[in-house]
Amino acid sequence: MNFKTKSILVLATALVGTAAMSQTAAPAAPAAPESTLSFNVGVVSDYRFRSVSQTSFKPALQGGVDFAHASGAYIGAWASNVSWIKDYVGATDGTSEVDLYLGYKGAISADLAFDIGVITYQYPGNTADKVLVNANTTEVYGALTYGIATVKYSQSTGNFIANPNSSGSSYLELAATFDLGSGFSLTPHVGRQTIPNQAGNAGDYTDFSLALGKDFGGGLTGSLTAYSTDAKDAFYKVGTFDNLGKSGLSVGVKFAF
């Protein structure tokens, strides 16, 4: 066999092998997990809820756990230290917040998604009922997201955070998240809180915030958020404590795993 004939046989063998391989099914892509369990822990210089300080402008240590199913159902818990129950309400006990929530999210179309659920804000051992009413609060909520923008409505099923006769309190909010590149994001937000049956509607306010986020990778993120509200001194300022809705900045770091 001459060199030319041998080369042709080698080439033919390679082509046959290639054809056989092309008829073999490619390995299937890994199936998406039926469910995921994730955790997070973080710290903020001032814990703000709807732009109102929950820690009298002091730091908070926070953490949570989330379980999400491929169907869109989810359940989770989150916790933080707070001080408003003692500082603002004047109760003797109530220094922690534990949020429990469950819901369902999904897609209506390629660009439109929804999220509905219920959340309860629990303040273990709080004695706000000795002064006003118990601080524990439950809300139902619904949200729609189109592209980068989200609108969400929340309404309490009973009294709202230690305010008597405040069932049906509501919060309507609109936010958008802009990807700035290099792991940075910018999120403007506006919301309107209403608390019924309060003298002169003193508990109602509009809030604004602007958050700059940074994803450092590996589950580590940071944030710098500016807050402002038109919360009234008559309702959100007490004793030696400043208006809990006053303008301010908060820095945060969170690690998710």
CATH code, domain with 227: 2.40.160.40
Percent helix, percent strand, percent coil in the chain, to nearest 5: 15, 50, 35
16 assigned to some structural domain: no
Residue reference for tokens 């707070």: 82
Is 161 part of any domain?
yes
Q: In which band, very low, low, confident or very high, does the pLDDT at 136 lie, cut at 50, 70 and 90?
A: very high
* CA–CA gap between residue 49 and residue 81 (Å, rounded): 12
Domain for residue 33, yes or no? no
Q: Decide: 59 and 45 in contact? Cβ < 8 Å.
A: yes
CA atoms 242, 244, 249, 251: torsion sign? positive
Is residue 231's pLDDT more than 80? yes
pLDDT at 199: 95
Q: What is the pLDDT of residue 237?
A: 96
Note the pLDDT of residue 27.
62
Establish if 111 belongs to a structural domain. Answer: yes
For residue 33, what pLDDT band results from cuts at 50, 70 and 90?
confident
Distance (Å, rounded) from C-alpha 197 to C-alpha 193?
13
Mean local confidence (pLDDT), 117-131: 98
Return the pLDDT at 216.
98
Query: Per-residue confidence at 15, pLDDT binned at 50, 70, 90?
Result: very low
Cβ pair 77, 59 in contact under 8 A:
no
The residue-averaged pLDDT of 6-22 equals: 37
Task: Give the pLDDT score at 26.
Answer: 56
Q: Give dist(CA 63, CA 36) in Å, integer.
A: 17
Would 106 be classed as within a structural domain? yes
- Which pLDDT score is estimated for 8? 34
Q: Which residues contact 66 (CB under 8 A, 6 or more apart)?
A: 36, 37, 38, 39, 40, 74, 75, 76
Using the predicted structure, report yes or no on whether residue 14 has a pLDDT greater than 80. no
- The reported pTM is 0.87
Comparison of pLDDT for 1 and 175, the residue scoring more: 175
Average pLDDT of the chain to the nearest whole number: 91
- Residues near 6 by Cβ (< 8 Å), separated by ≥ 6? none
**Looking at the predicted structure, is the pLDDT value of residue 16 above 50?**
no
Establish if 1 belongs to a structural domain.
Answer: no
State how far the Cα of 52 lies from the Cα of 231, in Å rounded to an integer: 8
Q: Reply yes or no on whether the pLDDT at 3 is more than 50.
A: no
Determine the pLDDT at residue 9: 34
In a domain, 24, yes or no: no
Counting the structural domains of the chain, the total is 1
Mean pLDDT of 192-210: 97
> Rounded to whole angstroms, how far apart are CA atoms 47 and 63?
13
Stretch 12-19: mean pLDDT: 38
**Domain enclosing residue 131, as ranges:** 54-256
Q: Dihedral (C-alpha) 245, 247, 251, 257: value to the nearest 10 degrees?
A: 40
User: Could you tell me if residue 20 is inside a domain?
Assistant: no
- Indicate if the pLDDT at residue 72 is higher than 60: yes
